Amino acid sequence: MIEYYVADGLAVLRLNAPPVNALTFALLDALVADLRRAAADPSVERIAILGEVDFFSAGADVSLFRHLATAADAMRVCRAFEAAYRAIEDSPKPVVAVLAGQTLGGALELAMACRWRLAVRNARLAMPEVKLGLCPGAGGTQRLPRLVGVKAAIDLMLTGQAISAERAFELGLVDALIPNAEIETVLEAVAKLPNREKTRDRKEKLVDVTGHRVIFAEAAKLAAAGRREVVSPVEIVEAVRVGIEESFEAGLGREQEAFCRCAATSAARNKIYVFTACRETAKTPELTGVQALPVKTVGVLGLGTMGTGIAQAFVAAGIPVVAFDLDARAGEVAVGRIRASFDRRVSQGKIRPEQAMAAVARLTLAKEESALRDADLAIEAVFENLEAKRAALARLESLCRPNAVLATNTSTINLDALAAGMKQPDRLVGMHFFNPANTMPLVEIVRREDALPAAVATALRQAKTIGKTPVLVRNREGFVVNRVFIPYLKEAFLLLEDGADPAAVDRMGVEFGFPMGPLTLVDLAGIDILQHTDAILRSTFSYHGGPAVIVDRLVEAKMLGQKTGMGVYRYEAGDHKPRPNLEAMKIIAESRRPNASPPGDDEIGRRLVFRMVAEAFRTLHEHVVTRASDLDAAMVLGTGLADFRGGIVRHAQDVGLEHVRDVLADLAVRYGERFAVTQ
């Protein structure tokens, strides 16, 4: 767990707990034992704590947070960490941390308790607790401001963003940059370190008392402006304030209280659940022992919006792409867009110019379709139409090697219908990317009953390779995200038919945790798209009921959303702001169901959310996903649903399954089978 040796008076403690040196109670115990051993060894003058070459540590083991049932459990975690870090800070032989690669959360708190910090240039330092809905619990809110100043400390803890070794050096979080973490380099650097007091006694960054008051007031205001469910930002600011205005010890006590309060919220539990759920999706017991096929080149057929984004995602991840579109102009536009997107990333400082050039150079825009023959994985991303996709797959089949994997990026079509015309249908898999494909983190990997396991494993591996989260789904209309989300969007229109105000419907979608309301979203995506996908779902799932009248009428009137300047709302050229649309309001008024009483906010929220809950449980019942948490991960990643909500199944569990059953039964009586309770 920890390697220990002594070199030239330096006791080296190297964390060795793969894969990420997550800090457990056992690791902390071992660390403290080794500190004592070093203290007792007369040949040791100083102590160094190191990690792996590209990984210092990912911080506290997240599973410690998953099992915090009571405030006492949370306090026990804080106290265990604090005791270990105090032992580091109070060590009679000063301790230096040598940081390389990821140094996150509890690991950075460990480093801050050391007397000095050396960092290799590849180090990435962050305090990501806020992303899990937590407050740092091992002294971070106290030691960080003493090292970098109050403002920078609050910024780091409220954003959770990682900073580079250089930035950490500029801020004073790191004392020196070193070329590598080899022992000779460390010995040389340690010899040059100045004498230094303990972090908790450092005061040089804390002199501007008036300035601090302003910073605290501003930060508290900013923190309070966030979602009321997520308390960690407010708690973090308050813990820092107490530590600066009162004392280190008082701040530490306030921090521990804050950690316990945060840990008790469902927002934190749900965020931690989503963190784990997103990593579980890649574990597919049904594919154990199946080898993914090697992929050197990816082919993309069709360079519309989706094909372009998919091609970009692969080249950005270092995989060569050969792309083709029957329309030569579309191909050129696609290349221009990819180039412009990389250029933007360069100007934002996210990548270096040479990385952008290398990525663009990996893309070959083919003049002939036959160039796709070299692809090990060929993805068709042509127009979402059965015949067009069948034709595209037939062409790929005739071109590509028999062992190449063929993927379709369909969002709605049943893969069996696509496979029907193929000679080797078992090599067809679905890779459903979400728009924009280069940035959206989710890919649904659709598995047909008779798909070759190696083909499915290859698609999964490739999605992981390009940094996406793959979710394996059964081949069933709508797969998982659209299956659950489209009914929610449709319910928004059914609510309008019952007299709900569009603004209230949108407000309740945002209240639940979506980045925008359902009507605004449909206006953005296109009302015709909702009409089309709903028709596909309805034809398979008769309990979805008939079409939404308002959707049909708006499409008839060519009010398709932002792309036509009018949808539920009206848009001015070059402006995405939704404004009232009197023409749409007229259609909505004419489509009102007779005798329906306008629903209030609670009823709107209930119908929107429980429509998803009902569909999610049907989806689980049909084994569309391997586990419920896959559905939740997919909804968070595919729709932008806030992770504090934990997803749809998780939300149902949070409000209580008996309550869910009662509400669904009531809604089913009033609105029909689409709300019916399933097994």
> What one-character-per-residue DSSP string does 279-339 give?
HHTT--GGGTTPPPPP-S-EEEE--SHHHHHHHHHHHHTT--EEEE-SSHHHHHHHHHHHH
Identify the sign of the CA torsion 629, 631, 635, 637: positive
Minimum CB separation of residue 380 from ligand COA in Å reads 29
CB of 125 or CB of 554, closer to ligand COA: 125
- What is the rounded CA–CA span in Å between residue 141 and residue 259? 11
- What is the rounded CA–CA span in Å between residue 196 and residue 188? 18
CB of 106 or CB of 139, closer to ligand COA: 106
Minimum CB separation of residue 53 from ligand COA in Å reads 14
DSSP state of 52: B
Minimum CB separation of residue 241 from ligand COA in Å reads 22
Identify the helix (H) or strand (E) that includes residue 4. Answer: strand 2-7
116-120 and 95-99 strand pairing: parallel
Tell me which residue has tokens 């848009």.
571
Minimum CB separation of residue 105 from ligand COA in Å reads 3
Phi, psi of 3, deg, nearest 5: -85, 140
Q: Retrieve residue 245's tokens.
A: 């205005």
- Chain contacts with ligand COA (rule: CB under 6 A): 19-20, 22, 58-62, 102, 104-106, 128-129, 132, 279
CB of 139 or CB of 251, closer to ligand COA: 139
Residue environment code for 290-315, b if the CB has 16+ CB neighbours within 10 A, otherwise e: eebbebebbbbbbbbebbbbbbbbbb
CB of 464 or CB of 661, closer to ligand COA: 464
Minimum CB separation of residue 78 from ligand COA in Å reads 11
Minimum CB separation of residue 543 from ligand COA in Å reads 37
Q: What are the CA-CA distances from residue 363 to residues 331, 332, 334, 370 (Å)?
A: 11, 12, 11, 16
> Which residues carry out catalysis?
109, 129
Residue number, nearest CB to ligand COA = 105
CB of 129 or CB of 491, closer to ligand COA: 129
Minimum CB separation of residue 60 from ligand COA in Å reads 4
Angle at 28 between CA 22 and CA 30, to 5 degrees: 110
Minimum CB separation of residue 14 from ligand COA in Å reads 18
Minimum CB separation of residue 629 from ligand COA in Å reads 13
CB of 268 or CB of 519, closer to ligand COA: 268
CB of 64 or CB of 303, closer to ligand COA: 64
Minimum CB separation of residue 379 from ligand COA in Å reads 23
Cβ–Cβ under 8 Å, residues 650 and 660? no
Identify the sign of the CA torsion 151, 157, 160, 164: positive
CB of 81 or CB of 485, closer to ligand COA: 81
CB of 63 or CB of 403, closer to ligand COA: 63
At 574, is the secondary structure helix, strand, or coil? coil
> What one-character-per-residue DSSP string does 456-495 give?
HHHHHHHHHHTT-EEEEEES-TTTTHHHHHHHHHHHHHHH
CB of 106 or CB of 309, closer to ligand COA: 106
At 137, is the secondary structure helix, strand, or coil? coil
Which residues make Cβ contacts (< 8 Å) with residue 548, sequence separation at least 6?
Answer: 490, 493, 494, 497, 534
What Rg do the C-alpha atoms of the chain give, in angstroms? Answer: 28
- What is the rounded CA–CA span in Å between residue 525 and residue 306? 13
- What is the rounded CA–CA span in Å between residue 596 and residue 495? 10
- What is the rounded CA–CA span in Å between residue 85 and residue 425? 58
Q: Is 196 exposed, middle or buried (0-12, 13-18, 19+ CB in 10 A)?
A: middle
Which residues make Cβ contacts (< 8 Å) with residue 332, sequence separation at least 6?
Answer: 365
CB of 102 or CB of 639, closer to ligand COA: 102
Minimum CB separation of residue 135 from ligand COA in Å reads 11
Minimum CB separation of residue 59 from ligand COA in Å reads 3
Task: Give the number of residues written for the chain.
Answer: 679
Q: Retrieve residue 466's tokens.
A: 């390009």
**Of 116, 131, 31, 38, which is closest to residue 81 (Cα–Cα)?**
31
CB of 110 or CB of 405, closer to ligand COA: 110
- What is the rounded CA–CA span in Å between residue 623 and residue 603? 30
Cβ–Cβ under 8 Å, residues 110 and 65? no
